[in-house]
């Protein structure tokens, strides 16, 4: 490490939010936390269940009580705590289609209870992007929809609901990732919209989040020439400080998207990205992938310290960033203490009134039965069905069907272990249900037997030509097939066309119940 005061090195550690491998804190992470590491990001690879998650977080806090523990828990397709089963709650598109901001707030509050039960500080959610481009490969059903007003209303509701549980929300991906055709995990997307359109379409949800008191905002790795033609938003002082801070008035923590994503990793080494992002106005640097011994985290620290010594990063700017991170940790700690006190008081005096939900939600922990039912209710409200012969009621499956999942690779924000779930949901109700999966490289469709009904599951078929072609072939062979679209709906096809507007365990269970007549 460059020669510097321990205080400067500690400031540099405070603004880092790395991921790590394993289901317990590795030794390097414990040492880094003791040296002031300000954050840690949890992924599905770190989590096996509620008790283990809580134990893991407690292990992190034993080294640094003020650590900001963050996770991507959007509901729907992007879940870390429920990656192996699918989320108990539908995602944003389903909530937007259902159209009830009050329900959206309740769903977010339930997600907040799940995270608060593990003492998690920060949820990298909600997605506040307006999905203006149907060809968008990475946002899609993660957005509340294509209309700015709707997205703004539901974004604000989601922020209120999550934060009522004492978990900080993080609106993303500023200044708006909805009008792109490139996945920023793979390359740098460009938003070509003129300034006026950006202000009318992309910024309102972020304004709404700020007005709702959102504690954090995540910037996207996006080139937006109307705002800054030279550098991506992550590295742009015009975007992060000029627009978000000075114009929109955001005062909370500004965190980068993961710096290993190719959108920025192809431009600069990790340390340089961190320095430039901090200089532009970011407060926390997310590094989802770290080297096995933590050397990459220490290299980020050293690059930041060196930049301060070289005069490329003002120490005052670094200190400001660190103070915002610590303020977020203090906000969470105060609410966690209030929640624990409320639970203890409720246990001592069962008749005592609990705090208002808008202030703090007690009783946090694993998903409760009433929250499971809320997730089902929300998924049911988002379900849309088209029946070819015009009947008001969909068919009831007469026996165990064959479920064919025509599955493109979901975008890289989705954990690969997250299931689409319909096969399992139907199997619970109709034992003997069989399944086949058609993935990239599969030569064609499996045999579609005449003695079973067929359920075809697709995701964003309108955006994937191969999936659309296979779906059309299957329906030609079996005109009586039931089609379940879990992404953005396309033109209805098949005897029955069911749109869930997202992937979640809740959505799969609702579809299974509808198809079996168990409504």
Q: How many Å from the N-terminal Cα to the C-terminal Cα in the chain?
A: 63
Tally DSSP H helices, then E strands, for the chain. 17, 14
Give, as one character, the DSSP assignment of residue 190: B
In 305-415 the beta strands, taken as DSSP E runs, fall at 384-387, 402-406
Q: Give the residue among 274, 245, 265 at the shortest CA–CA distance from 13.
A: 274
CA dist 35 and 206 (Å) reads: 34
**In 10 A of CB 356, how many CB atoms?**
9
The conformational region for residue 517 under phi > 0 = left, psi -120 to 50 = alpha, else beta, is: left
Q: Give the residue among 479, 492, 497, 502 at the shortest CA–CA distance from 394.
A: 497
Respond yes or no: is residue 221 known to be catalytic.
no
With the CA atoms of 265, 266, 268 and 271 taken in that order, what torsion angle do they form, in degrees rounded to the nearest 10?
A: 20
Contact 83, 49 (CB under 8 A): no
Strand partners, 387: 496
CA dist 185 and 15 (Å) reads: 22
CA dist 54 and 116 (Å) reads: 9
Helix or strand (DSSP H, E) at 216: strand 216-219
Active-site residue, selected from the candidate residues 257, 283, 371, 415: 257
Strand partners, 40: 69
Respond yes or no: is residue 415 known to be catalytic.
no
Contact 115, 136 (CB under 8 A): no
Contact 111, 515 (CB under 8 A): no
CA dist 469 and 485 (Å) reads: 14
Q: CB-based contacts of 457: which residues, under 8 Å, 6+ apart?
A: 403, 404, 405, 406, 407, 420, 422, 484, 486
CA dist 127 and 131 (Å) reads: 10
Strand partners, 384: 499
Q: Give the residue among 154, 128, 165, 158 at the shortest CA–CA distance from 143.
A: 128
Contact 389, 510 (CB under 8 A): no
Q: What are phi and psi of 242, to 5 degrees?
A: -65, -50
Active-site residue, selected from the candidate residues 173, 185, 332, 459: 185
CA dist 340 and 355 (Å) reads: 12
- 68-71: strand order across its sheet: 39-42, 68-71, 122-123, 168-174, 216-219, 253-256
Active-site positions read 185, 257
């Amino acid at each position: 490490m460059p020669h510097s005061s321990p205080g400067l090195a500690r400031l540099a550690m405070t603004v880092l939010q790395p991921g790590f491998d394993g289901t317990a804190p590795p030794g390097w992470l414990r040492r880094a936390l003791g040296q002031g590491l300000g954050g840690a990001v949890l992924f599905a690879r770190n989590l096996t269940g509620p008790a283990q998650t809580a134990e893991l977080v407690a292990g992190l806090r034993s080294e640094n009580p003020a650590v900001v523990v963050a996770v991507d828990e959007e509901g729907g397709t992007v879940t870390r705590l429920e990656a192996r089963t699918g989320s108990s709650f539908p995602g944003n598109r389903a909530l937007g289609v259902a159209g009830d901001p009050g329900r959206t707030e309740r769903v977010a509050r339930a997600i907040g209870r799940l995270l608060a039960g593990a003492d998690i500080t920060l949820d990298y959610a909600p997605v506040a992007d307006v999905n203006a481009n149907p060809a968008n490969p990475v946002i899609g059903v993660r957005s509340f929809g294509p209309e700015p007003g709707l997205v703004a209303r539901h974004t604000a509701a989601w922020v209120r609901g999550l934060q009522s549980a004492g978990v900080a929300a993080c609106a993303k991906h500023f200044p708006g990732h909805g009008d792109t055709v490139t996945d920023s995990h793979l390359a740098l997307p460009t938003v070509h919209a003129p300034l006026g359109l950006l202000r009318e379409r992309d910024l309102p949800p972020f304004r709404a989040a700020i007005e709702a008191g959102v504690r954090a905002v995540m910037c996207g790795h996006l080139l937006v020439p109307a705002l800054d033609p030279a550098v991506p938003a992550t590295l742009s002082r015009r975007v992060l400080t000029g627009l978000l801070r000075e114009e929109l008035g955001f005062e909370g923590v500004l965190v980068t998207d993961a710096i290993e994503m190719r959108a920025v990793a192809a431009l600069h080494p990790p340390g340089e990205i961190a320095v430039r992002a901090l200089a532009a106005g970011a407060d926390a640097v997310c590094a989802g992938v770290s080297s096995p011994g933590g050397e990459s985290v220490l290299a980020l620290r050293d690059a930041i310290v060196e930049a301060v010594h070289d005069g490329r990063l003002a120490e005052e700017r670094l200190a400001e960033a660190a103070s915002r991170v610590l303020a977020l940790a203090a906000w969470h700690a105060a609410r966690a203490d209030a929640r624990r006190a409320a639970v203890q008081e409720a246990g001592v005096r069962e008749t005592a009134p609990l705090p208002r939900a808008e202030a703090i939600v007690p009783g946090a922990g694993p998903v409760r039965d009433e929250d499971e039912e809320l997730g089902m209710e929300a998924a049911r409200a988002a379900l849309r069905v088209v029946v070819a012969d015009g009947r008001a009621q969909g068919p009831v499956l007469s026996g165990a069907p064959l479920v064919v999942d025509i599955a493109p690779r979901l975008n890289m924000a989705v954990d690969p272990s997250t299931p689409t779930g319909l096969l399992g949901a139907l199997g619970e109700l109709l034992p003997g249900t069989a399944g086949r999966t058609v993935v990239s490289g599969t030569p064609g469709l499996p045999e579609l037997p005449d003695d079973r009904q067929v359920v075809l599951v697709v995701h964003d078929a309108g955006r994937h030509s191969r999936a659309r072609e296979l779906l059309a072939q299957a329906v030609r062979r079996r005109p009586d097939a039931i089609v379940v679209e879990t992404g953005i709906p396309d033109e209805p096809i098949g005897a029955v066309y069911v749109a869930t507007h997202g992937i979640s365990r809740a959505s799969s269970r609702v579809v299974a119940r509808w198809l079996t007549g168990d409504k």
